[in-house]
Chain A
Amino acid sequence: MADKSTIERLKDQACEMRKNMLKLCHVGATHIGGDLSAADILTVLFHYAMKYDPKNPKWEGRDRFILSKGHAAGALYTSLAMAGYFELDYLFNNYRKLDSPFGEHPSDKVPGVEIPTGSLGHGLSISTGIALAARLNKKNHRVFALLGDGESQEGMVWEAAMAARHYKLGNLVAFIDRNGLSLDGETEKLMRLEPLADKWKAFGWNVMVIDGHSIEQIVNAIDNLPPVDSDTPTVIIAKTVKGKGVSCMENDVNWHAGSIDAALLEKCCAELDEARKRERGE
């Protein structure tokens, strides 16, 4: 279990990351709602769980990360920048420009991005292939994938779920960003997903259900993953809030995607700082 100072550091980083996502959203439109809901998960992945070398993005021993919900590119770019793959300013100065490596969906022109994503449903199959290759190569890194809950309506997700268990890929970990919303509205009203945990259990996966905004719970889930060489892939259903941390965006599909002006940016960042201060008891 991580010590208290690690947890505090991660919380600071999550706050910083949200502010960076918002800055990017001021540069140009991002999928800010789904970026914010994934911020705590990505913070723990990039600053606690995964091993990687930003100076050598293709290092063989790295843990792989696949952003299956590719529209949350802003979350991935800010994670990679804060992990040291490139400067934040490089991102801010180039986002959405003509010929830029940084567009609304990630491409592998960005150091640290394994494969372009953005068409929903593909990521778990790709992750299954990467995990299978690790088995063939007798390597002990893990493969982490992040999926949207709306994305889980795609049939391909369930084909991959079947395959990963069949091939006994205990080196595969999927996070579901269970914020309850997709683009049009509530997943349960559009096309019901529940009972989601039972579905994954029925597919033979090791299932954890956590609060996706509790750094402690995310860290705890990582600490309790089955060994890499186990037979069972793990899915972590992380209950989250779309737009988390910015009150005017929370739980509102109108903030699925969009951009913000300077005044709103300032207001959002102040709200995040204020909340973090309160949390620290300052």
Chain B
Amino acid sequence: MVQSTHTPVREQDAPASGPPAMVTFRNVWKSFGAIKVLRGIDLTIERGQVVCVIGASGSGKSTMLRCVNGLEEATDGVIEVDGELIGVRLRGGRRHELSPREAAAQRGHIGMVFQQFNLFPNRTALENVMEGPVVVAGLPRDQARRRAEELLTRVGLADRAGMYPRQLSGGQQQRVAIARALAMEPKLMLFDEPTSALDPELVGEVLGVMKELAEAGMTMLVVTHEMAFAREVADRVAFVDAGRIVEYATPAEVFGNPTHPRTREFLARVQ
């Protein structure tokens, strides 16, 4: 094993000095049956950083993102978010699965935006945004309503609050989905190709909201095919190939001077 090259997995959290990084992948592996989808991911995202993940289809980008909030459980290795292990507790060199309640509580602090929006079709835009604060955080309905209205205003949809998802355009639905994730006041936002299901003219409005979010200091992990967005907004770009991060640097370096041949190949194809 090449264990030594990886950050060691510590048993107790709380490092000696300073606040922990927002996200730390420690040698994360994931298999579906015999297929190894993630093969030793190491990645540290500092507070307030925006990291864009790029890579070919099927390289494991979505899987990597879904491991961060425990929608997918890692086959090996661990992920820490804000110093807390996701989905497991380390004891005696083993990972002990958390209870569904504990895992749910962790997810409440991590916002996620899906490629297919996944809005609740039987709830209005406003109700979609209110759902988490009311059901999970137990916020009184009038407070939740006020927060939801503010968030819909922030994503430019104050006038669409009473509409159902099917009455909204794709771009509007995705902005509601972003507001829904923000309603839980997350410390981290995950985006899985948030603009891939959108018509080209609707992409801009969603990226605009994401850019504002980044400027407001939100820590973000974004899987995207929008190279211009990555170049402009990202602090770091990670290029994933066959389940490994083969290149990790500033956008200027990755796009201007890629070192790995697979990165060069990929960039040549998409640009």
Q: Say if A and B assemble together.
A: no
Interface residues of chain B, those whose CB is within 8 Å of chain A, are: none
Q: Which residues of A contact B (CB under 8 A)?
A: none
